[in-house]
Chain A
């Protein structure tokens, strides 16, 4: 029962400042890289301090999970500001041509993390083709399906690069899947994932969160992945009976801490969550992690939540006689 993370970590000031200056043209790529490496080092330090088994690079360079990839693939431009909620706006990608892979997008930062990880595996993480399409304006492709498949092919190149670099775990984030309306969307996402993971030997993971997750079943069981990582704590583990009903037999990424509340869960609370999952699925198939990326939390809270999570896992392992 390893512990892991979904991906993002609160941004360190050094990364924030460098991104700001890079956008303004005050510094070049090289200086930005240096700052990102610095920030990644701090992220990894926190992960190791908390005792996480499979870590990430903390996504210090990514300002937005869709825009980040769109800016680095061919076929996109970035639109004007679009509202996400309240008075919060973001720039949304616009597809204006055929989507193609240009050059590695995430490998550099993944390598930074690996260099500091003291031998712990680092997950390679990308935003999935379904979500990229869903969160972009499509001005080019006639059918959305064509866009999703082209995105999948481009992202497949990125996944190959990650594997070539040595990634043993590769996670595709598909948060948009949680709001899909029609069954065909699940089929489309499945086909896209097939493209993304074609010929890949690393552990294949999909992360989905926030929405009507029960609607993903049973189609999710047919997805070409080894592990499904789901937000569970926020929704009170109400998905577990659904997993049971469908005899879920993949590995489960089990979200046990809420990433949208400042309250740090108690160890007991997390232990209870893990035990609920153990009634449905064996410990050898569970990977314990937070519900989602930690980027919205203050760093101290994020770190505390990770520590609590690891302590809870150790407690359960002990009871199971495996530690």
Chain B
């Protein structure tokens, strides 16, 4: 079993980039200047993840305002309107209102992700918002059925992926926090399985579906593997079921990504404690590849704290490896 430490999603925006964005919004910086600044910060954030000791890094997604806006605002047929709380966080996202037929217009992520792959010295994971979560977070005023919206979002992602696949990254992750919501309807999940299965077919990446903020239904886990997802991510912090309880989940799992460091609290875990707890779970896990990650994006803690959290993660991962070997 290969055990790697990996970032799950973004990295908090560095203070100098926050300032640059404010200046851009006030018209004191051109778009080109802002993008140059963002690229410079992206390189720095990639280095920080590497120095923290991560085996798998992300671009940091520094210009993303939240999980979905970056992608949704590029689509025709969508207007962004108002703010809503993002799951159980004191964090808000722009609500996409679907007013017409969705049309993907041009690549939205290739530049940022191309840069990440170019400068990274470690394996790179690309992150995209999952179609099911996007559909649930939209206010749908156009499609008669939510399933149609899920399909259309899948189509838009497919267009994006046709460009992304030229990038030589190792992993492609779809973020689907909605999969932990009790209110998720089974008919939508079924439609989603078809969509996501279609999306990952033939892609040159190892595919991941990441879930967080709650527990994933074990049936869903199996279903995701069945349609060809390589790895599924679980949030072991927010899901309050005991680890021993969770180990039942893992039967039949191929590759897993486990969120073991709390990215929603500044308190630093003890790497040794983490490793000891995990060692017990590892007995029940027999997968090809295991990623250990923060339980969600690093957006919820201050910039200064993110690095320390990733260090805890990489140290814990090294300990776990030692146990396992």
Contact = CB atoms under 8 A, between A and B. Distances in A.
A295 interface: no
A137 B265 contact: yes
27 contacts: A79-B266, A81-B15, A81-B302, A82-B12, A82-B301, A83-B300, A84-B90, A84-B92, A85-B65, A85-B83, A86-B65, A86-B94, A87-B21, A87-B25, A87-B65, A89-B18, A137-B266, A137-B301, A138-B267, A139-B265, A179-B85, A179-B87, A179-B89, A181-B88, A181-B214, A210-B84, A260-B83
Contacts of A80: 302-305
Interface residues of B, number: 33
Given A80-B302, A85-B66, A137 B13 contact: no
A211 B85 contact: yes
B267 A139 contact: yes
Contacts of A81: 15, 18, 302-303
B99 to A, nearest CB: 18
Contact of A82 (B15, B25, B83, B300): B300
Contacts of A248: none
A94 interface: yes
A86 B303 CA distance: 15
B78 to A, nearest CB: 17
Given A86-B94, A139-B265, A139-B267, 14 more contacts: A79-B302, A80-B303, A80-B304, A81-B18, A84-B90, A84-B91, A84-B92, A85-B93, A92-B302, A135-B90, A178-B85, A179-B85, A181-B214, A260-B83
B309 to A, nearest CB: 12
B299 interface: yes
A210 B87 CA distance: 12
A176 interface: yes
A182 to B, nearest CB: 8
A180 interface: yes
B12 A83 contact: yes
Contacts of B85: 178-179, 210-211
Q: Which of B83, B213, B299, B304 has the most CB of A within 10 A?
A: B83
Contacts of A87: 13, 18, 21-22, 25, 65
B88 A83 contact: no
A85 B267 contact: no
Contacts of B303: 80-81
B302 A82 contact: yes
Interface in A71-85: 79-85
A134 interface: yes
Interface in A254-268: 260
B82 interface: yes
Nearest to B92: A85
Interface in A50-96: 79-87, 89, 92, 94
A311 to B, nearest CB: 27
